[in-house]
A and B are shown apart, each in its own frame.
Chain A
Amino acid sequence: MNELESRLLKTGAERLALLGKHAERLMQGYTRDDVPLDGLNDSALRKLLAARVLWRPDEQSGVKLAPKVRELIAEMLADETRRHVNADVAETLELVRSLVHSYREARSRSEHWRQEQQLLRLRQEVDDLNGRFADAIDSLWQRLNSDFGFVSQLSDKIRENDRAQKQIVRLLDGLVLIDFDELIALVGSDGSLRKLLISQLQQRLSHHYTSLREVQRRLIELMARFRKQQARSRLISGMVAFMREHPGFVPGNYAKRSDVPALFNHAAPLNAAAAPALDRALENRVLAELLHKLPTPRHAAQTVESAVAALTPEDNLAAARQQALKQDVERFYLAVLDQPPAEPISALAYLYDSHLEWPDEIWLFQVISEYQGLPRSEQQAFRLHQEESPASSFNDLRLIHDVALAVAV
């Protein structure tokens, strides 16, 4: 390390330390007009001025933060209101050109140390250029993603969006300045220069270009949304004001026009009603389950008019058969009444004699249930004798084989 470089390092580190040492005071300067000087001694102030951290526009005015320091702080805080977007491409290109010339000069004279120094500075310049684009793009995305949340009024958002779009245009103009044909001619056949200034730079810049285009597209979209919101607010407040001024205002009856405006053609609601149906055996079980799950009503059921469960032909048939059986059994009872008293008639015998087709069991069941269904006074007019036997010697279940019915004496 040579003497120059070590001095540079020492001074740089000393001056950087000033930033930390006076951090709070500098931040006060960032948020206000001037940097407050109370409690700051002369030598410290001189150091800050010498390091160009602070500057004084003229003797009368206060001490202010240097623009670069202000920018640094804005950058560190991602303070979008004050972050600058400036790629300074033209100046960088100037510098790159002169550095390349100086580098080639050093190479032709075989001054390796100088050659390396120039290459290092070139790399730094290219990195800086990249960094500036990356920073600018980052700042644009930040603003976009926050919907310009750092300003509260819609009109301010529209202005900020406009400003951001102009910045993009400037950045894109800057990118256009970089002419790779010129750079190719400039670097000639030098491998390390070619890598640095052509392949790497081209790749990065095309990446920046894509990002800028994307952010531009999104900003325009957002602007359209802002404008739409603004228009909506104005429309609504305009209409409210108008309707308050004209309380009797009635628009035309658009529904009576030959061509009804699409917006006003909103059809009447239609209720897709449904009722339980019993015409599918499979579903009957589901319905029965649902029925069982119904909570018992806490109050007396009210009669309501509602859809009646649909009856199937099968159900109708069963009801008709039931009715026929009942009538046959009633005829049997009448036959018993025609008999002399106390002369029982066997139900099964009657069934066979009358050539009726009912199964024995169903017939007997209906005869018994008819008897039990009679009012008590009428029941006393009949005597029902059940011919029964136990199911087995060990089971006292009684099996009815026949019943005999007679008029009671």
Chain B
Amino acid sequence: MIEHGPLLERLLAGEFVCAVSDDNAFRHLANEETRDAIDLYLRPLNRRLASNEEGSVYFLAWRQLNEAAREQLSRQLNDTVNSLLPLLEWLQLVQEALGRDTLAAPGDVLKPAEFSAKCEDNQSLRERLEKLATDSFFGSQSDQLDAQVKQLFKRLKEHGYLLQPHTERQVFVVTGKIDYLIEMVRFIRDEENLPIDGEREEGAQEALL
């Protein structure tokens, strides 16, 4: 258990562990015995190891859902719903600004400077960025483009969606928590029967595999 000390600490602190944020720990967690051992350790803390459907990110869940736990989860859900639109809009903005044909995915490298440059050249992107940065989730107070972009990346890093491998270098890597976010969106769509089309073909292709 001693070797997993730092991992446990991160999990207990509420972090999401994926192949990008901690490759080594992630590989350990792929082992069922390790997961069982960690679960056993977490039992007195009323927590257990959980993962998203895809198994690309691990986090801690409540073992027993008592009133206090439900209260905390309700508050958290509320926060999540409030941050959903800005987060998704950011994903779209990045995709469009960088001219990519796919959404940012775990392991993708993002450079604020590149993002700024693209938004600077395009009035419509610039306006969307401005609107996004001043949203209460990102909370930028500045009207300078660079400062706004900086604030966006800072907040996303704080929320664990981005990782900055070197503090002195302005280069960020998308983490597996993005997968978790997208799964939540899918869940909400299905659960609330939202009229959103999307992935009809996905099931078919998976069946083929």
Contacts and interface: CB of A to CB of B under 8 A. Distances in A.
A314 to B, nearest CB: 29
B70 to A, nearest CB: 5
Contacts of A238: 189, 194, 196-198
A275 interface: no
A262 B77 contact: no
B25 interface: no
A149 to B, nearest CB: 11
Interface in B89-115: 89, 91-92, 95, 101-103, 105
B196 A235 contact: yes
Contacts of B81: 250-251
A239 B60 contact: no
Given A220-B208, A252-B192, A266-B76, A240 B183 contact: no
B7 to A, nearest CB: 12
A121 B46 CA distance: 78
A244 B88 CA distance: 11
B205 interface: yes
A254 interface: yes
B72 interface: yes
A251 B187 CA distance: 10
Given A236-B88, A242-B195, A271-B13, A265 B65 contact: yes
Chain B, interface SS category: helix
B80 to A, nearest CB: 8
Contacts of B88: 236, 239-240, 243
B171 interface: no
Given A231-B202, A239-B185, A242-B196, A254 B103 contact: no
A256 B74 contact: yes
A301 interface: no
A261 to B, nearest CB: 6
A153 B101 contact: yes
Interface in A146-160: 152-154, 157
Contact of B50 (A223, A239, A262, A269): A262
Contacts of A268: 14, 69, 72
A220 B209 contact: yes
Interface string A195-215: 000000000000000000000
Interface residues of B, number: 59
Interface string B172-186: 000000001011111
A221 B69 contact: no
Given A221-B209, A229-B105, A235-B199, A269 B13 contact: yes
Contact of B73 (A235, A241, A244, A265): A265
Nearest to B47: A267
A224 interface: yes
B191 interface: yes
A263 interface: yes
B206 interface: yes
B99 to A, nearest CB: 8
A224 B47 CA distance: 35
Interface string B138-150: 0000000000000
Nearest to A255: B73
A272 to B, nearest CB: 5
Given A152-B101, A220-B209, A236 B74 contact: no
A82 interface: no
B197 A237 contact: no
A264 interface: yes
9 contacts: A221-B209, A224-B206, A227-B202, A251-B188, A255-B74, A256-B74, A266-B61, A267-B59, A270-B47
Given A261-B187, A268-B69, 8 more contacts: A220-B208, A224-B208, A229-B105, A232-B103, A233-B102, A260-B65, A265-B50, A271-B12
Q: Which 7 A-B pairs have CB atoms at the shortest separation, nearest pair first? A: A231-B199, A269-B14, A238-B196, A255-B73, A265-B61, A235-B198, A234-B198
